[in-house]
Amino acid sequence: MSIHTVLGPLDPSKVGNTLTHEHVRMNYETRFIKPPREDHVIKTKLPLEMKNLGFVRQYPYSSLANLTFGQEDLQTMIEEVAEYKRLGGETLVEVTTHGIEPDYEFLKQVSEATKVNIICSTGYYLGHTLSKEVLEASVDDLVKVIVDDLTVGRNGIKAGCIGEIGCQYPLADSERKSLIAGAKAQSRVGCPLIIHPGRDKKSPFEIIDILKANGADISKTVMSHLDRTLIMDDDVMIKFAEYSPCYLEFDLFGIETSHYQANEKIDFPSDAQRVAKIKMLIDRGYEDRIVIAHDISTRHRLLKYGGHGYGHILENIVPKMLARGITQQSVDKILVENPKRWLTY
């Protein structure tokens, strides 16, 4: 039993503080959203500069420069991840999948330079990001690619996780197919699985049903983005926790803008609200199933561009958790023990 990193097997006892949902290199230009005002259109093409950060923070998916996350040079990303290491970070799960262009070799170089354990991923992202070849592939074809990434690897670098599997609500046919493929591949290999649910409170329930029906191990599955999917309603959050034994992930720490461009019906929570919801779940007995991260996927969230960086949780959120009555024992479960249990196979 081990954790499978880009540098090979890792003894689970060495996992340390772990972020369970991050990106270090990806292509996110397919995420572009036209801004609501015509006078903002010119701003979509401006470089990422201090004078533009107000616009970018409000409309992060309307800045083309902000979405070219995969164009960061190696040294920049080494410095970004090294700061996480300096603050006590040990492990990072990089969840870039087919459709947004995972780069295993790049992740290996970052891991070697920073001494941070990086787990890379396989599987398929949202349907609109996928190639015609993938869209036309059978479930069995997708399963073979996923299993090969986990067991053979690319140039010897093996994935250690399936996902984030991209889902919308309602599900596109291609997304249902990739969910089924992820479930079948996980049942063969026994590895961790992580899901990007649609932006509707019904979506996580639907996804769990599909995974169960196709042999997935729900106890080895993370449901991501609950801080923009279920956080508004405690009763629904608890209902989901009771419905499914999966891990409950709060992975948008560091985003403090209430305007949610991807779904304007939702008011994005603050970090303080995320901490309050985590405490509620701990008080209700779910501390063994909580994991956290930042889901950094745009340039403005990097330190280089005035963002919070990968070290934000360790530097700022852990002290807030302790100040709000969450014990160090619970913090260690969330950052160390729960990720270790999820990642080990």
Q: pLDDT tens-digit profile of 188-231?
A: 999 999 999 999 999 999 999 999 999 999 999 999 999 998 77
Kindly state whether residue 200 falls inside one of the protein's structural domains. Answer: yes
Mode of pairing for the β-strands spanning 8-10 and 3-5? antiparallel
Residue of 3, 336, 9, 6 lying closest to 156 (CA atoms): 6
Q: How many residues does the chain have?
A: 345
User: What whole-number distance in Å separates Cα of residue 39 and Cα of residue 16?
Assistant: 48
pTM for the structure as a whole: 0.97
Kindly state whether residue 60 falls inside one of the protein's structural domains. Answer: no
Assigned token pair, 246: 């999966």
Kindly state whether residue 201 falls inside one of the protein's structural domains. Answer: yes
Kindly state whether residue 329 falls inside one of the protein's structural domains. Answer: yes
Q: Which of helix, strand or coil describes residue 315?
A: helix
Residue of 142, 144, 140, 211 lying closest to 171 (CA atoms): 211
Kindly state whether residue 53 falls inside one of the protein's structural domains. Answer: no
Which residue range forms the structural domain that includes residue 337?
7-28+68-343
Kindly state whether residue 1 falls inside one of the protein's structural domains. Answer: no
State pLDDT tens for residues 172-182. 999 999 999 99
Q: How many domains is the chain partitioned into structurally?
A: 1
Residues 6+ apart with CB under 8 A from 212: 218
Kindly state whether residue 316 falls inside one of the protein's structural domains. Answer: yes
What is the average per-residue pLDDT within 262-279?
Answer: 94
Q: Please report which confidence band the pLDDT of residue 36 belongs to, taking 50, 70 and 90 as the band edges.
A: confident
Burial environment of residue 145 by CB neighbours within 10 A (0 to 12, 13 to 18, 19 or more): middle
CATH code at position 82: 3.20.20.140
